[in-house]
Structure 1
Amino acid sequence: MIDCETEIAQGRRFAFGRNWLKFGQLIDEERLALARKSLESALGTSDLTGRTFLDIGCGSGLFSLAALRMGARVRSFDYDADSVRAAEKLRQAFAPESDWSIERASILDTAFVQKLDQADIVYSWGVLHHTGDLWAAMEAACGLVASGGTLYLSIYNDQGAESRIWTSVKRQYNTSGAVTRQLLLAGSLLYLGRYYPLSAARRLAKRARGTETKTSPRRRGMSVKHDLVDWVGGYPFEVAAPEKIFSFCRERGFQLRHLKTCGGGIGCNEFVFTLGSTTGG
């Protein structure tokens, strides 16, 4: 398997971890509270005491930390070394005495996955579609859920032709220099903000002047700026219609408990499944 750094250098993968390291500087109690609130809403509980939480592709570590605050025993891993560093920095800042485990690994590494214990909650938000093999990653993630446990996923929505156009944009971003990347970010910002042209134009002007400032947290505690870079650069890139995710998981014994779609547009559809049961959290 080619390592992450080589893929980034070859323009075959976005440097997700570098973006997460920058975002990590913004994480505070307010963002953590929003992240925790989103977990509580989707999982239907505020108490994960005694339960195991496996974070596949932990990124900044924000949601691992939120689960830890909810009482879970947390194990996190990410393919990108910079993401691991970002999560380790977060642990040092907010939970230095915890037993939160963070390591570098890939969900597509069969030998690694086979050594993992099944978890009560397997969480992978916006990750599996960036592995380069969505369905193999889905298979591995499903296999890590303990009986009666929970699988919490978000996967990019399939928009047909528009998704193919975005794939080309993302591929170009990762094979281009700094100037072209900025142009792609600016163009994407205007396109994505076409329904809110004045606010999009203001953000673009601030970016051009270098005066863009930290913004209030988005839902889930995220950041508009870092989400934009992640969206435009996020490659490899795969998509799936909600019914395909539902069918795939149902065939493996999962029951759908929570669904939040992006309304057929750009973004992720969010799923919470329970394995072998329609009750429990």
Structure 2
Amino acid sequence: MVDSPTEIRAGDRFAFGSNWLRFIELVDEPRIATAVDSLVTSLGTRDLSGRTFLDVGCGSGLFSLAAHRLGARVRSFDFDPESVAATVELRERFAPGSDWTITEGSILDERTVSALGRFDIVYSWGVLHHTGDLWAAVEAVAGLVGPGCLLYISIYNDQGIESRLWRRVKRRYNRSGPLMRRALVAASAAYLGRHVPLRRAVRLVRQGPHRPAAGPRARGMSARHDLVDWVGGYPFEVAKPEQVFAFLRDRGFELRHLKTCAGGLGCNEYVFEKTGPKASV
């Protein structure tokens, strides 16, 4: 299996981990609280005490930390070694000495997956569509959910031709030099911000990577880092909600929570329960 740094150098993968390492400089208690509230809203509980939580493609580690704050026993892994480093740093800053486990691995690697076991909550937000094989990745995470337990995923919405055009932008970004990348980010910011004052989009592009951010977005994220992640995020696949429903229904899951992007650009968020008797904790 090709490793993340090799694919990044070849222009076949965005350096997600590098972006997350910059993002964690912004992580503070208000961002953590926002991430915690996001989990609470989707899972319908503020108490994960004694429950196991697997973060597939942990990125910055912010939501692993949020699950830890809610009392879960957390395991995190990511394909990108810089994402692993970012998550480790976040753990050392906010949960030193905890039993939160962090490793490197791919959801598409059978040896990684077979060694994991089953979990009460399997979480993978905005990850599976970047693996290069979306449906194999969904199949793999579904197999990690215990009976009566939860699968919490988000997948990019299929916008038809617009999604195909964004895929071309993302591919071009990863095969370009710094100047073209900045131009693509600037053009994308202008396009995405065409319904807000122009000065806001320009300010977002001009902010340097170490400038203070205005504050957390929904889920505790950063507009600046989300923009770069969106423009560069490759591999890139999409799915319609009905495709996700059908795929997981056939594997014994029932929908418990849905938040869509109203047919627009972004991720549709799903929480499914694997039907059957509750797993012992």
**What is the TM-score when the length of structure 1 is the normalising length?**
0.96
Q: Which residue of 1 aligns with 2:94?
A: 94
CA distance in 1 between partners of 2:209 and 2:107 (Å): 38
Contact persistence 1:257–1:278 (CA under 8 A) = no
SS of the residue 1:76 aligns to:
strand
Structure 1 residue 214: Cα displacement: 1.6
Distance 1:119 1:279, change over 3 A: closer
Is contact 1:153-1:270 (8 Å) kept?
yes
State percent identity of aligned pairs. Answer: 62
- Deviation string 1:50-78 (CA, Å, 9 cap, x unpaired) is 00000000000000000001000000000
For 1:180 and 1:205, how far apart are their aligned partners in 2? 14
Contact 1:129/1:239 (<8 A) preserved: yes
Note the C-alpha offset of 1:278: 11
What is the Cα deviation at residue 203 of structure 1?
Answer: 1.6
Query: Residues 9 and 37 (structure 1 numbering): CA distance in 2 closer, same or farther, change over 3 Å?
Result: same
Kept after mapping to 1: 8 A contact 2:190/2:201 = yes
Find the aligned partners of 2:52 and 2:191 in 1 and give their Cα distance: 41
CA distance in 2 between counterparts of 1:115 and 1:278 reads 23
Output the TM-score relative to the length of structure 2.
Answer: 0.96
- C-alpha contact 2:26 2:212 (8 A) present in aligned 1: no
The answer to whether residue 19 in structure 2 is matched with residue 14 in structure 1 is: no
The alignment status of 1:146 with 2:165, answered yes or no, reads: no
**Counterpart of 1:57 in structure 2: which amino acid?**
G
Cα deviation per residue 1:12-46 (whole Å; 9 max; x = unaligned)? 00000000000000000000000000000000000
Mapping of residues 19-58 of structure 1, within 5 Å: 19-58=19-58
The letter of the residue matching 2:224 is K
Cα distance in 2 between the residues matched to 1:135 and 1:202: 37
Q: Give the superposition deviation at 1:201.
A: 4.1
Partner of 1:253 in structure 2?
252
Give the C-alpha shift of residue 11 in structure 1.
0.1
Q: How well do the aligned residues superpose, as a CA RMSD in angstroms?
A: 1.7
Structure 2 Cα separation of the partners of residues 132 and 194 of structure 1: 30
How far apart, in 1, do the equivalents of 2:202 and 2:244 lie? 38
Q: Secondary structure at the match of 1:146?
A: strand
Check conservation: 2:205, 2:224, Cα contact below 8 A: no
Listed as ranges, the gaps of 5+ residues in structure 1 are none
* Structure 2 CA distance for aligned equivalents of residues 103 and 77 of structure 1: 5
Distance change (3 Å), C-alpha of 1:6 and 1:200: same
Report the equivalent of 1:156: 156
1:102 aligns to what SS in structure 2?
strand
